[in-house]
């Protein structure tokens, strides 16, 4: 974590499921934020030179033996600190206050009454709706602090020591259930920390290009382009930075959605004129999955084969360069679309599911023996920022706003064996889902909407004929980050249209079901 010229806010993570939300809220105010572990030392904080520090909430009680701690010197650095929930209790407990242990957690909405003037509550009025989730509560002020606001249950819902610039809130300003929470965050950033609003996508792109040029020099870079948002934005950014030093490899594994190879070739090959090597390996992959029905075996086989195909493609590129007697024949760098949530060093406190990284989703996984150095220009960004960067780089909506799609593609949406015929059925059904969702504008309002082919035949009737054919399940979910999800209450008319089109237009399907399970306990994908 090297200091940059930006104003930055450091958020120390005590295991709250909202830590990343805090970071995003700060960035929405155009201030760069970074998440650090709670056990970072004061010297490390000082070296990073943040304009302010925010202590996140967390599931622990400050009285537990294993409660996550903080280097107390951080409170004496002269850098403003804002403690939220657990962060407040920690601050209070260590600075001479009293915290009352409570075995019961209180969740929910409340009203905050603001009793004193403070820059933290500048222009927010005398009371506001808030949302809290806490067990312990503050019963005596720490030395040098005063109470700023109270709630029905708590006389010390907001406290401050203006001289040392230490502030703390019992509630969560970062969540949407605290409607004016963003103003409190803005007040902290601009009235207390005096941050500059210098985190914009334009400035990010310029700086990222300069960094890429510095890292890569005049060497060549290879990138596995999947057509998903992350690898697409990585490609566009690298192309802006180093032009023809970048070559993208796009592998068609045979499990892509309808028209996907064409879209990627059109956007990147024709519009952007990026050097694009298209490898159609679909037959190889299909052969590989003959007789395979176990979901994990499918995923593994596809992952390993992808690596082999990718290796072969880079060797072919090299061979061609040598034949053409081009200088710099080697590809020293491999670019990847790694995002910030993948690199945050997570703390798993109290089994918080938000902190578990799902390794199988970090596509790439190329072996170390390939001896590439990595270029990961999106490492600092959240997904919504990647989308903004993509639009600024001139990528079309059909790429930037597309829904997530798993690396193993349609293969994990065909339950049971993957055959050319079953692929055809799913691909056609899926295209109908996509087109109806887009036509009704729901495509962009949900996290994912897709078809799944079940290994179930059932009886139907078509004309005077009895049929015995396949079943398609529709999976349409809303989610913030894919970690949890709920099924979308889609209007019946749209469900009706999708269902009727699928049974009428896709040969081999006579039944459509709607998946109404949440994640957890289900997952979004069926395999
Ligand atoms: P699950 O099924 O675990 O999916 O609830 C959560 C999110 O991750 C996507 N997903 C993948 N993405 N490679 C990916 O890049 C994969 O292998 C993969 N498997 C699942 C899924 O579509 C959903 O958005």
Q: What is the mean pLDDT of residues 85-92?
A: 96
Q: Which atom of ligand 1 is nearest to the CA of 228?
A: 15
Tell whether ligand 1 has an atom less than 6 A from the beta carbon of residue 110: no
Is 3's pLDDT higher than 70?
no
Q: Are 229 and 400 in contact (CB under 8 A)?
A: yes
Q: What is the mean pLDDT of residues 487-499?
A: 98
For the annotated catalytic residues, the residue numbers are 85, 172, 174
- 71 vs 69: CA distance, rounded Å: 7
Is 124's pLDDT higher than 60?
yes
Tell whether ligand 1 has an atom less than 6 A from the beta carbon of residue 508: no
The secondary structure of 121-139, three-state, reads HCCCCCEEEEEEEECCEEE
Q: Do domains 8-192 and 201-400 have the same CATH topology?
A: yes
- 96 vs 140: CA distance, rounded Å: 9
What pLDDT is attached to residue 365?
54
Q: Are 267 and 396 in contact (CB under 8 A)?
A: yes
**Could you read off the pLDDT of 237-259 as tens digits, one per residue?**
999 999 999 999 999 999 999 99
CATH of region 413-514: 3.30.300.10
Q: Which atom of ligand 1 is nearest to the CA of 448?
A: 24
pTM > 0.85: yes or no: yes
Q: pLDDT averaged over the chain?
A: 92
- 446 vs 159: CA distance, rounded Å: 40
Tell whether ligand 1 has an atom less than 6 A from the beta carbon of residue 360: yes
Comparing 94-98, 184-188, 330-334, which segment has the lowest mean pLDDT? 330-334
Q: How confident is the model at residue 4 (pLDDT cuts 50, 70, 90)?
A: low
Distance of CA 230 from the midpoint of ligand 1 (Å):
14
Produce one character per residue of 30-48: b if its CB has 16 or more CB atoms within 10 Å, e if not: bbbbbbbebebebeebeeb
Q: What is the mean pLDDT of residues 478-497?
A: 94
Tell whether ligand 1 has an atom less than 6 A from the beta carbon of residue 518: no
Percentage of the chain with pLDDT > 90? 82
Tell whether ligand 1 has an atom less than 6 A from the beta carbon of residue 477: no
Residue whose CA is at the smallest distance from ligand 1 atom 9:
406
What pLDDT is attached to residue 7?
95
Produce one character per residue of 438-451: b if its CB has 16 or more CB atoms within 10 Å, e if not: eeeebbeebbbbbb
Distance of CA 317 from the midpoint of ligand 1 (Å):
30
Place of tokens 């000082």: 46
What pLDDT is attached to residue 2?
47
DSSP string for 26-55: HHHTT-EEEEEETT--HHHHHHH--SEEEE
Q: What is the mean pLDDT of residues 89-97?
A: 96
- 504 vs 488: CA distance, rounded Å: 24
Crossing angle of helices 383-392 and 201-216, rounded to 10°: 90
- 455 vs 409: CA distance, rounded Å: 17
What pLDDT is attached to residue 267?
96
Q: What is the mean pLDDT of residues 474-478?
A: 98
- 514 vs 348: CA distance, rounded Å: 35
Residue whose CA is at the smallest distance from ligand 1 atom 14:
406
The beta-strand segments (E) located in 198-264 are 220-224, 246-252
CATH of region 201-400: 3.40.50.620
**Could you read off the pLDDT of 454-469 as tens digits, one per residue?**
999 999 998 899 999 9
Question: What's the CATH fold of domain 8-192?
Answer: Rossmann fold (3.40.50)
What pLDDT is attached to residue 323?
83
Tell whether ligand 1 has an atom less than 6 A from the beta carbon of residue 523: yes
Spatial neighbors of 453 by CB under 8 A, at least 6 apart, are 413, 414, 415, 422, 425, 426, 429, 470, 471, 472
Domain limits, the chain: 8-192, 201-400, 413-514
Distance of CA 526 from the midpoint of ligand 1 (Å):
10
Tell whether ligand 1 has an atom less than 6 A from the beta carbon of residue 407: yes
Q: Which atom of ligand 1 is nearest to the CA of 403?
A: 24
Distance of CA 271 from the midpoint of ligand 1 (Å):
29
Q: How confident is the model at residue 329 (pLDDT cuts 50, 70, 90)?
A: low
The secondary structure of 137-204, three-state, reads EEEECCCCCEEEEECCCCCCCEEEECCCCEEEECCCCCCCCCCCHHHHHHHHHHHHCCCCCCCCHHHH
**Could you read off the pLDDT of 412-464 as tens digits, one per residue?**
999 999 999 999 999 999 999 999 999 999 999 999 999 999 999 999 998 89
């Amino acid at each position: 974590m090297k200091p940059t010229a930006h104003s930055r806010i450091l958020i120390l993570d005590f295991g709250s499921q909202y830590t990343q939300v805090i970071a995003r809220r700060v960035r929405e105010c155009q201030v760069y934020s970074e998440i650090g572990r709670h056990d970072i030392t004061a010297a490390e904080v000082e070296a990073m030179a943040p304009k302010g520090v925010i202590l996140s909430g967390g599931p622990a009680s400050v009285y537990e033996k294993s409660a996550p701690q903080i280097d107390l010197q951080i409170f004496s650095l002269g850098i403003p600190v804002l403690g939220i929930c657990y962060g407040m209790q920690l601050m209070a407990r260590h600075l001479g206050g009293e915290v009352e242990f409570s075995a019961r957690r209180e969740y929910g909405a409340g009203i905050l009454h603001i009793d004193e003037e403070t820059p933290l509550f500048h222009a927010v009025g005398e009371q506001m709706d808030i949302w809290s989730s806490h067990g312990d509560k503050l019963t005596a002020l720490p030395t040098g602090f005063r109470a700023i606001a109270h709630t029905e249950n708590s006389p010390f819902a907001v406290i401050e020591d203006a001289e040392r610039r230490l502030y703390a809130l019992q509630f969560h300003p970062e969540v949407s259930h605290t409607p004016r929470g963003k103003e409190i965050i803005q007040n902290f950033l601009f009235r207390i920390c005096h941050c500059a609003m210098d985190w914009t996508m334009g400035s990010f792109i310029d700086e990222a290009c300069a960094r890429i040029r510095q890292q890569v020099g005049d060497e060549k870079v290879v990138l596995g382009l999947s057509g998903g948002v992350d690898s697409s934005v990585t490609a566009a950014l690298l192309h802006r930075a180093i032009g023809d030093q970048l070559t993208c490899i796009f592998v068609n594994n045979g499990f892509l959605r309808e028209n996907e190879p064409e879209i990627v070739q059109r956007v990147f090959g024709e519009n952007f004129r990026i050097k694009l090597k298209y490898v159609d390996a679909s037959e190889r992959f299909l052969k590989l999955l003959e007789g395979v029905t176990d979901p994990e075996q499918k995923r593994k086989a596809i992952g390993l084969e992808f690596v082999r195909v990718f290796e072969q493609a880079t060797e072919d590129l090299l061979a061609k360069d040598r034949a053409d007697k081009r200088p710099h024949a080697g590809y020293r760098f491999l670019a990847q679309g790694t995002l910030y949530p993948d690199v945050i060093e997570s703390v798993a406190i109290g089994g918080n599911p938000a902190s578990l990284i799902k390794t199988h989703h970090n596509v790439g996984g190329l072996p170390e023996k390939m001896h590439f150095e990595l270029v990961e220009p999106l490492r600092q960004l959240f997904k919504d920022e990647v989308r903004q960067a993509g639009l600024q780089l001139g990528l079309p909506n059909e790429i930037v706003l597309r829904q997530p799609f798993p690396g193993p593609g349609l293969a994990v949406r065909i339950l049971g064996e993957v055959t050319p015929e079953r692929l055809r059925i799913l691909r056609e059904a899926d295209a109908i889902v996509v087109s109806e969702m887009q036509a009704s504008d729901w495509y962009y309002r949900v996290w994912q909407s897709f078809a799944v082919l079940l290994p179930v035949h059932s009886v139907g009737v078509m004309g005077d004929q009895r049929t015995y054919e396949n079943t398609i399940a529709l999976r349409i979910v809303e989610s913030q980050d894919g970690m949890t999800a709920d099924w979308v209450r889609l209007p019946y008319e749209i469900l009706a249209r999708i269902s009727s089109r699928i049974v009428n237009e896709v040969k081999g399907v006579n039944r459509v079901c709607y998946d109404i399970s949440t994640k957890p306990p289900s997952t979004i994908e069926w395999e």
